[in-house]
């Protein structure tokens, strides 16, 4: 080996060692930059970035160790080859082979350096590419209410725009005397109304029904998902029938006379008949009877107005067992309940007088008195007729004498 070749080899060795130094400095700077970046990422997101930074550090350190080991092995090979050349005496053939080996080793070293530099450039390019920004969870949590509210508004708008918003299925239950169509019409629910507005105004529709129809005592409107509305009604019961004008009208339990005549064929077998033309007195009677036991009310057959000089609202109640009760209209709630105590003492059809106090007497005696009074009236009328006829001929004789 010539001195020139040895000089070239030493210069190549110097070049490789200088590159190794620069590469080590670059790796140190790179590790420092990564350490600073990992610190910043840990501050922003401790949960995600810590794991990633540790993985990248481990991979980088393993690559550095591999590169350093490869470089050390190359240096060892070069130094060993130099020592062997110095110990052995060079020959011409050996010098030629050494030249070839040195050229090959120089080419290999140049290739390795180019590979190392290329890998370093690739690493720098990878690091220079910015990572895609990640959306933190706190921002997602903040945006969640907005997304939910906006989606609900979109669904509501679609619901109101489409015909689904006005679909309704109305079901009526509890009605006996009023038809389903009459009830729906009385509520004033329009087919064009939205289902939501019908649900919100259901109490108002129930009040409209009670005001429009006298039969309805209670009305409740309930909603069943998705489009069903159930109208539960409770009708007033019929307490009596008013028949003072010839036609028969039902009287419901609140004292109202329904202006719908009832045919005789539709009447029940046993009912209370009222011969009261004044609707105010009918309502008052119903209010007074509300405090009377049902056992007494069910036995009343007819109610007639029989006023006296002292009591203008005196009523005569004819019972189904032919007993009669004379009682003022304003005192029914106080005096009529005592009839349950008097009734067991009555052995024959009697009259229970409750106008002033409470006492009873036989109805047959009253009939006899009435018959006697009628006979007396007839007899008195007959006596007056002959006296007038007797006076007429005397007048005639007087005229003839004159």
CATH number of 245-366, picked from 3.30.300.130, 1.10.10.60, 3.40.50.10960, 3.20.20.70: 3.40.50.10960
Instruction: Give, as one character, the DSSP assignment of residue 116.
Output: H
pLDDT mean for each 10 residues of the chain (402 residues): 57 60 78 81 63 52 55 52 43 48 53 54 50 68 88 84 84 94 94 89 94 94 92 95 91 93 90 92 94 92 91 93 92 92 88 87 71 69 54 42 40
What ranges do the domains of the chain cover? 6-128, 167-235, 245-366
Number of C-beta neighbours around residue 363 at 10 A: 16
Collect all residues with Cβ–Cβ distance below 8 Å to 66 and sequence separation of at least 6: none
Q: Whole-angstrom Cα distance, residue 55 to residue 81?
A: 39
**167-235 adopts what CATH topology?**
Ubiquitin-like (UB roll) (3.10.20)
pLDDT at 58: 53
DSSP assignment of 80-116, as one string?
HHHHHHHHSPP-HHHHHHHHHHHHHHHHHHHHHHHHH
Q: Which of 215, 16, 236 is nearest to 110 (CA)?
A: 16
pLDDT at 26: 82
Torsion sign over Cα 358, 363, 369, 374: positive
Question: 39-63, pLDDT tens digit by residue?
Answer: 777 777 665 545 554 555 555 555 5
Q: Whole-angstrom Cα distance, residue 130 to residue 127?
A: 7
pLDDT at 210: 93
Q: Whole-angstrom Cα distance, residue 274 to residue 301?
A: 9
Question: 26-36, pLDDT tens digit by residue?
Answer: 888 888 888 88
Q: Which of 352, 357, 322 is nearest to 339 (CA)?
A: 352
DSSP assignment of 373-384, as one string?
HHHHHHHHHHHH
pLDDT at 394: 43
Task: Kindly tell me the burial class for residue 361, based on how many C-beta atoms sit within 10 Å of its own C-beta (0-12, 13-18, 19 or more).
Answer: exposed
Identify whether the C-beta of residue 171 lies closer than 8 Å to the C-beta of residue 228.
yes
Q: Which of 161, 169, 308 is nearest to 227 (CA)?
A: 169
Strands 350-353 and 324-328: parallel
pLDDT at 159: 77
pLDDT at 62: 55
Residue whose structure tokens are 């004498």? 401
This model's pTM is above 0.85: no
Do the domains 245-366 and 167-235 match in fold? no
pLDDT at 393: 44
By residue count, the chain amounts to 402
Q: Whole-angstrom Cα distance, residue 194 to residue 163?
A: 9
């Amino acid at each position: 080996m010539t001195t020139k070749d040895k000089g070239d080899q030493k210069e190549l060795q110097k070049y490789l060692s200088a590159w190794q130094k620069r590469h080590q400095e670059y790796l140190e700077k790179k590790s420092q930059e990564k350490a600073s970046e990992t610190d910043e990422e840990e501050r922003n997101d401790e949960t995600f970035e810590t794991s990633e930074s540790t993985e990248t550090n481990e991979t980088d350190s393993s690559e550095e160790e591999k590169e350093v080991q490869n470089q050390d092995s190359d240096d060892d090979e070069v130094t060993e080859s130099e020592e062997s050349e110095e110990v052995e005496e060079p020959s011409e053939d050996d010098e030629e082979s050494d030249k070839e080996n040195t050229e090959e080793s120089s080419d290999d070293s140049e290739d390795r350096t180019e590979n190392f530099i290329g890998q370093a450039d690739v690493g720098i390019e990878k690091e220079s590419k910015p990572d895609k920004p990640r959306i933190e969870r706190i921002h997602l949590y903040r945006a969640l209410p907005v997304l939910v509210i906006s989606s609900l508004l979109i669904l509501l708008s679609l619901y109101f725009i489409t015909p689904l918003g006005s679909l309704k299925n109305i079901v009526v239950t509890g009605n006996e005397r009023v038809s389903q169509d009459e009830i729906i019409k009385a509520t004033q629910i329009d087919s064009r109304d939205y289902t939501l507005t019908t649900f919100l105004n259901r109490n108002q529709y129930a009040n409209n029904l009670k005001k429009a129809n006298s039969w309805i005592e209670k009305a409740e409107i309930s909603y069943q998902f998705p489009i069903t509305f159930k109208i539960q009604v409770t009708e007033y019961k019929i307490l009596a029938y008013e028949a003072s004008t010839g036609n028969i009208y039902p009287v419901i339990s609140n004292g109202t006379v329904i202006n719908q005549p009832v045919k005789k064929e539709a009447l029940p077998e046993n009912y209370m008949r009222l011969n009261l033309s004044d609707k105010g007195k009918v309502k008052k009677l119903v209010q007074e009877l509300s405090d009377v036991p049902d056992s007494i009310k069910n036995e009343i057959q007819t109610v007639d107005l029989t006023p006296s000089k002292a009591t203008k609202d005196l009523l005569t109640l004819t019972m189904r067992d032919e007993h009669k009760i004379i009682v003022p209209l304003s005192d029914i709630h106080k005096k009529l309940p005592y009839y349950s105590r008097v009734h067991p003492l009555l052995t024959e059809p009697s009259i229970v007088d409750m106008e002033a106090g409470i006492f009873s007497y036989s109805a047959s005696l009253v009939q006899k008195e009435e018959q006697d009074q009628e006979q007396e009236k007839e007899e008195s009328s007959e006596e007056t007729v002959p006296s007038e006829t007797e006076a007429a001929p005397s007048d005639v004789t007087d005229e003839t004498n004159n």
